[in-house]
């Protein structure tokens, strides 16, 4: 396992449509492990391969029990309900904005063993999945803001909220 460099929004792979992975081989397993280590070190709620300069359809997300879930060729099967909240991106550190997402999602993809899996999630984790799926299509959270006025520094949001704990998905 190794830490990879997380690139910013100005890196070209962040705007590319990532390619499907033909086979979950040793290099893909290594990529999943590196993404996991890099996400946990950041720390973040998710990390997609294009963020480390690899234009492949692979990401990791921190699950509801803080376990790391790595998915290859993930797809949205179903989305229901709406959640509106702040999110940020490890490729745009320190900034957050308000984005509307499905409240619940079902995602399918292949795991590190090449086995097809379906995962149902809601809330914070469902937001992270949708954020990572977007990364695979070159879409950034700043493209999905409910309003440009909601884009702000995370520290300013924390000041505004004061007593209230601010839980922001950074992925």
CA distance readout (Å), 30 to 36, 88, 123, 168: 10, 26, 29, 28
Tokens of residue 107, six digits: 């995602």
Q: Is the peptide bond before 24 cis (omega within 30 degrees of 0)?
A: no
Choices 33-41, 52-60, 89-97, 104-112; region in contact with Zn ion by CB under 5 A: 89-97
Judged by beta carbon, residue 29 or residue 140, the one nearer Zn ion is 140
**Which residue of the set 65, 103, 104, 132 is catalytic?**
132
Cα dihedral 116, 4, 121, 127, rounded to 10, equals: -130
Nearest to 119 by CA among 127, 110, 107: 107
Smallest separation, CB 66 to Zn ion (Å):
19
Query: Among all residues, whose Cβ is closest to Zn ion?
Result: 89
Judged by beta carbon, residue 12 or residue 159, the one nearer Zn ion is 12
**H or E stretch covering 87:** strand 83-88
Q: Furthest-apart CA pair in the chain: how many Å?
A: 49
Question: Which residues are bridge partners to 76 per DSSP?
Answer: 107
Tokens of residue 4, six digits: 């990879």
Smallest separation, CB 146 to Zn ion (Å):
17
Smallest separation, CB 10 to Zn ion (Å):
14
- Told to check if 89 binds Zn ion by CB under 5 A, we report yes
Smallest separation, CB 148 to Zn ion (Å):
18
Choices 23-31, 106-114, 151-159, 163-171; region in contact with Zn ion by CB under 5 A: 163-171
Residue 161 annotated in active site: no
**Which residues of the shown chain bind Zn ion in the complex (CB under 5 A)?**
89, 171
Question: Which residues are the active-site residues?
Answer: 132
């Amino acid at each position: 396992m190794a830490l990879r460099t997380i690139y910013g929004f100005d890196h070209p792979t962040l705007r590319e449509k990532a390619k499907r992975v033909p086979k979950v081989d040793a290099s893909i397993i290594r990529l999943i492990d590196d993404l996991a280590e890099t996400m946990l070190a950041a720390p973040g709620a998710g990390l997609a391969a294009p963020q480390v300069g690899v234009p492949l359809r692979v990401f990791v997300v921190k699950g509801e029990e803080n376990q790391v879930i790595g998915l290859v060729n993930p797809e949205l099967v179903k989305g229901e309900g709406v959640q509106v909240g702040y999110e940020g991106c490890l490729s745009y550190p320190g900034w957050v904005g308000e984005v509307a997402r499905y409240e619940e999602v079902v995602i399918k993809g292949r795991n590190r063993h090449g086995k097809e899996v379906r995962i149902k999630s809601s809330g914070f984790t469902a937001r992270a999945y949708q954020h990572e799926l977007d990364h695979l299509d070159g879409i950034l959270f700043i493209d999905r803001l409910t309003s440009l006025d909601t884009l702000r520094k995370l520290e300013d949001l924390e000041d505004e909220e004061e007593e209230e704990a601010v839980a922001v998905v950074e992925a």
